[in-house]
Amino acid sequence: MPEIAQRRRYLILVICCMSLFIVGIDNTAVNVALPSIQRDLKAPVSGLQWTIDAYTLTLACLLILAGSLGDRFGRRRVFMTGTSLFVVGSALCALAPNLGALVGSRAVQGVGGAMMNPVAMSIITNVFTDAKDRAKAIGVWSAAFGVSMAAGPVVGGLLLSATSWRSIFWVNVPVGIAAVVLTGIFVPESKAPTARRFDPAGQALGIVFLAGVTYAIIEAPRVGWMSGRTVAVFVVAIAAAAGFVAYELRRAQPLIDPRFFGSLPFSGATLMAISGFLALSGFLFMNTLYLQDALGYSALKAGLLTLPIAVASVIVGPRSGRWVANHGPRAPLMTAGVLLALSALLLTGLSPTTPVALLLVAYAILGLGFGALNPPITNTAVSGMPRAQAGVAAAVASTSRQVGQTLGVAIIGSVVVARATGPARTGLPAASHAGWWILVGCGLAVFVLGMLTTGKRAAATAARTAARLTEPSERTDPTEPTTEPGIAALR
């Protein structure tokens, strides 16, 4: 009987990893497909930005809410709903007749993805009750992300060479349906003993802020940075951010407790997640356009060339995690910052004649940096936090990753568009130089923040913040319960 129960647990792990796998493949494969989408749907560069950001922005806005939904209504139910939505969104993407329909369908995928990943992690932590087994399961879960990242460009390139970009979305459908069916048969239902109260006002203000900033950055090159529309959207976004902080400080159970940011490790982890994933997404976005539009490579060749990113990340990621467990996050974070900066620095002089060998070296260094960065982010975010708050802190770190991906495509795409002149072969590489320097800055930011947020002074701010978070609430809404549920830590 124990062996049967163990096999059942690992089957549940496989089912949960299936969800992460199709989401990971979809993300990287879509990057490879951007030039094909651009030609087929006659999309401007801003349309390509929205094709990526409609997904990542929706995901960033809903991740924390989705974790709460799973705790309240049942994790299996929410996971199945999210996977079903992702399948529906994928089918709609494959059938999209125009750019607007594709962007809207990507948002549907984002809603499903937001419900899949955090809830799947909650299922894993609920099923694997032994600490060692749980650590192994989470390690497999993390490896699935690396494998999906590695497979995405190649799978995307193969599908594009055989059919069209639409097949990239069709491939999600049978895998997603299988995950839904298997979940219904094998995954037990579970809920948190006490679920967090919903925060619709805080959720709405957060969405207005993130969506407003993203919209303004993407559309500004077309309508003008100082146009009335751009300025108005920025003003609304800033007002929403201010309103969010003021409102959340008054709630007993806020969506995100602003007091968290009194902890230097938490604040640093948030900024490092944004900076690091901005660098990754910006790098991939510019690289895709360069290889296919400027150099004329096929999607398959472009996908194969980027394999060093994924392979290096898969190799280094687990080792970085073990280093963090044994020695702390400082060295991996600072190393990651140097490597991310170096990978972009090598491409600041990009031209149509840049040697392929230099590209491969830059890709490998990016993968090493990303692999070193990802594991310590969550560790740093929850450092010193009370146990009841650790899940929420980890969820914010996960959300910050998605915000970074969104901003990377928005900012780098807008910079390239603003500077691009002439034919793609010569104009695009020259226009990308400013973008690579921005990514150098992101890497240096990770290095500095990794140094500042892992010392004794940073630990002291985390301790003070933890003490304030465990004090009786002094907020003005006495009707809300103050207990915090165990929202599972997110990757």
Q: How far apart are CA 92 and CA 454, in angstroms?
A: 45
Residues 117 and 181 in one domain: yes
Domain containing 77 — which CATH number?
A: 1.20.1250.20
Counting Cβ atoms within 10 Å, is residue 472 exposed (0-12), middle (13-18) or buried (19+)? exposed
Residues 152 and 298 in one domain: no
Residues 428 and 411 in one domain: yes
Residues 84 and 216 in one domain: no
**288, containing H or E segment:** helix 264-289
Last residue of one domain, picked from the residues 210, 231, 250: 250
Residues 394 and 349 in one domain: yes
Residues 130 and 79 in one domain: yes
For the chain, the residue count is 491
101 part of a folded domain: yes
Q: How far apart are CA 226 and CA 152, in angstroms?
A: 39
Secondary structure of residue 263 in the 3-state scheme: coil
CA distances from 339 to 112, 272, 359 (A): 33, 14, 14
Q: How far apart are CA 60 and CA 62, in angstroms?
A: 6
Q: How far apart are CA 152 and CA 275, in angstroms?
A: 23
What φ, ψ does residue 354 adopt, rounded to 5°? -60, 130
Q: How far apart are CA 37 and CA 102, in angstroms?
A: 10
Maximum CA extent, the chain: 69
DSSP 295: S
pLDDT at 396: 83
DSSP 259: G
pLDDT at 345: 97
Give one word for 194, left, alpha or beta, with left for phi > 0 and alpha for psi -120 to 50. Answer: beta
Q: How far apart are CA 353 and CA 87, in angstroms?
A: 41
Residue type, position 10, single letter:
Y
Give, for all 491 residues of the chain, the pLDDT tens digit.
466 677 788 788 888 888 878 887 887 788 889 999 999 999 988 899 999 999 989 988 888 888 778 878 888 899 999 999 999 999 999 999 999 999 999 999 999 988 887 787 778 777 887 767 776 776 677 667 666 766 788 888 888 888 899 999 999 999 999 999 999 888 888 876 666 678 889 889 999 999 999 999 988 888 888 899 999 999 999 999 999 999 988 888 788 888 888 888 889 989 999 999 999 989 988 998 899 988 999 988 988 898 898 888 888 887 887 888 788 889 999 999 999 999 999 999 999 999 999 999 999 999 999 888 887 887 787 776 666 666 677 778 878 888 998 899 999 988 887 787 777 777 889 999 999 999 999 999 999 999 998 888 888 888 888 787 766 544 544 444 433 333 333 33
194 part of a folded domain: no
341 and 448 Cβ atoms separated by less than 8 Å: no
Residues 241 and 283 in one domain: no
Residues 288 and 179 in one domain: no
What ranges in 128-199 are assigned the alpha helix state H?
Answer: 131-162, 166-170, 172-186
What φ, ψ does residue 298 adopt, rounded to 5°? -75, 165
Joined tokens for residue 481:
């319960």
Residue 171 CB: number of other CB atoms within 10 A? 18
Residues 129 and 170 in one domain: yes
282 and 435 Cβ atoms separated by less than 8 Å: yes
Q: How far apart are CA 399 and CA 70, in angstroms?
A: 17
216 part of a folded domain: yes
Secondary structure of residue 44 in the 3-state scheme: coil
Residues 109 and 243 in one domain: no
Residue 476 CB: number of other CB atoms within 10 A? 9
394 part of a folded domain: yes
pLDDT at 274: 93
Q: How far apart are CA 64 and CA 202, in angstroms?
A: 11
Residues 279 and 425 in one domain: yes
- Which string of b and e fits 282-298 if b means at least 16 CB within 10 Å? bbbbbbbbbbbbbbebe
196 and 484 Cβ atoms separated by less than 8 Å: yes
151 and 171 Cβ atoms separated by less than 8 Å: no
Q: How far apart are CA 410 and CA 53, in angstroms?
A: 8
- Spell out the SS3 assignment of 54-69: HHHHHHHHHHHHHHHH
Nearest alpha-carbon partner for 279 in 164, 57, 432, 441:
441
pLDDT at 476: 46
Determine the number of helices (DSSP H) and then strands (DSSP E) in the chain.
Answer: 17, 0
**Angle value at C-alpha 393, between 389 and 399, nearest 5 degrees:** 145
Residues 182 and 331 in one domain: no
What φ, ψ does residue 4 adopt, rounded to 5°? -65, -45
Range of the domain at 312: 258-475+482-491
193 part of a folded domain: no
Indicate the pTM of the whole model: 0.85
157 part of a folded domain: yes
424 part of a folded domain: yes
Sign of CA dihedral 213, 216, 221, 222: positive
Q: How far apart are CA 53 and CA 47, in angstroms?
A: 10
Q: How far apart are CA 490 and CA 260, in angstroms?
A: 17
Sign of CA dihedral 481, 484, 485, 488: positive
Instruction: Give the total number of structural domains in the chain.
Output: 3
Counting Cβ atoms within 10 Å, is residue 470 exposed (0-12), middle (13-18) or buried (19+)? exposed
**Angle value at C-alpha 185, between 179 and 188, nearest 5 degrees:** 100
470 part of a folded domain: yes
Provide the CB-side half-sphere exposure for 375 (13 A, CA).
31
